[in-house]
Amino acid sequence: MLLPRLVEAEILEKELENPNLLIIDLCRNEYYQKHHIPGAIHLEYGAIVRNAPPVGGLLPTEADLSKLFSAIGLTPELHVVAYDDEGGGKAARLIWTLACIGHHNASMLNGGLFAWGNEGHPTSDRPQQPTPSTYTANISSDAMAHINADEVVAALNSESALLDARSEGEYLGTKKFAERAGRIPGAIHMEWTKMMDQPNNMRLKPLESVRGMLQEHGIKDGQEVIAYCQTHHRSALSWFVLDLLGYRARGYEGSWSDWGNRSDTPIEI
């Protein structure tokens, strides 16, 4: 791997001229137009999710992913660096999507635009035009990064853990954003922002500190952990951190917008 999975701004700055890097900006477009990492290609978050109301946050089709990644110039050899302006949720969702199609050469910029801009690294206001490629995306049916509702149901009586990254109100069922409120039975609650060191320019907390938090919640080292939220946006960051820490991390596409709008899935309140 060209860069560590979680890369710091000072390391990335040294590699900006590396032709084997593809830097992808998932910030709001108005931010990108004003200041972005030199050479970064802008990608709207909506391009990497598929909605089938009332379910949101699904994986796009292979055809749509192939078209998207070809348009931004991705090739199997390129190492992707993703960043955003919210602490990593959007960037992590892109990295999870890439993992689902077997593209594992990908890193997240720790702290994203906040760390980059606030700590004096160079920025540009010149949009970067990608050089299109021909990329074929194949979603592996046995990709460990991915899990669907039927597989979650099957895992309920297994050794797998469930990590709910939503707000406390959503977890307790007092906030309802689907036909049914509540949580997946047995799910452990750890809101996604608990993993962030927000005063430190939105970086992640030290990984061993996060590991300790997970252990306090009963999650064991090496355990399979299924992360979910409302649409696998917030929980994409949870998945990314779990993966960094060596857990067998899986992300539930659709998440509660799928589970809570079905009639055949058990819930707990």
Cβ neighbours of 160 (radius 10 Å):
18
**Phi, psi for 22 (deg, rounded to 5):** -125, 105
Taking Cα atoms as reference points, which of 36, 242, 48, 247 lies closest to residue 127? 36
Sign of the torsion formed by the C-alpha atoms of 7, 9, 15 and 20: positive
Instruction: Number of helices (H) and strands (E) in the chain: give both, helices first.
Output: 10, 14
Cβ neighbours of 219 (radius 10 Å):
20
Residue 100 is among the residues annotated as catalytic for this protein? no
Taking Cα atoms as reference points, which of 184, 262, 191, 266 lies closest to residue 226? 184
Q: Which of 3, 229, 241, 242 is catalytic?
A: 229
Catalytic residues: 229
